[in-house]
Amino acid sequence: MSEFSSQNLADQTALKLRRCILRGDIKPGDPIKERDTAIVMGVSRTPMREAIRMLSKEGLIELRPSRSPIVAELDVTSATEQAAVLIALENLSVELACESATKEDLDNMQQIVEHMDANFYDFDPLDMFEIDMSFHTAIAKASHNSALAKTHQAFQQRLWHARYLAARQRRNRDRVVAQHTSILKGLKMRDKRAACSAVGAHLSQLAEDIRQQITNQNARKGK
């Protein structure tokens, strides 16, 4: 098997495992037995091991010496601190994207918004969440600042679990589509103030939503 196909299989395995965690099929604190999970997913232990390593970098999985890794517990303080950083990165992304976004970048974002609008309630909530996150990734890429795009991706991945829990509780197509459309309008006008204002409105409840969902989850577990 080529190096590319091996990595591609690991990426696919990581995607499947990530979605299992987000859906709650594997819960925080549950062990992930490499051999058994690989068998269930129909892959060998090598791509499973790499997938676990990838998700540990995202903060979804906690590695433990000489023991099976476990699904990481969500921590309120860490998540809200990371949310504050992510919001700052989102604002910087739109500022730079106002200067650097190409027509292709803007057209791509327009397609994402239209896709969300047309399929919001028809798609699985996790599928729609991933589409939503792709819009924010597209903005970071449209900054054409590779350091910013990589940093944004890292923080977005670290908040993936907590942010999905929050998004799942606040599903409203009109609100989400209107807010993304407002951000895109600011970008198309190259208006930094309008774009940042739209981002601020969109993410104003992010930290509180994350805090509430983690608190609720911990309460259900008796913490």
> CA-to-CA distance for 50 and 5, rounded, in angstroms?
13
Q: Which amino acid is at 112?
A: I
In the chain, what percentage of residues exceed pLDDT 70? 96
Q: CA nearest 113: which of 183, 171, 172, 169?
A: 183
Q: CA nearest 212: which of 170, 180, 184, 174?
A: 170
Q: Between these two residues, 89 and 74, which has the higher pLDDT value?
A: 89
- If pLDDT is split at 50, 70 and 90, which confidence band does 2 have? very low
pLDDT at residue 59 tops 50? yes
Q: How many CB atoms lie within 10 A of CB 107?
A: 10
pLDDT in tens, 137-174: 999 999 999 999 999 999 999 999 999 988 887 778 89
Q: Which amino acid is at 151?
A: T
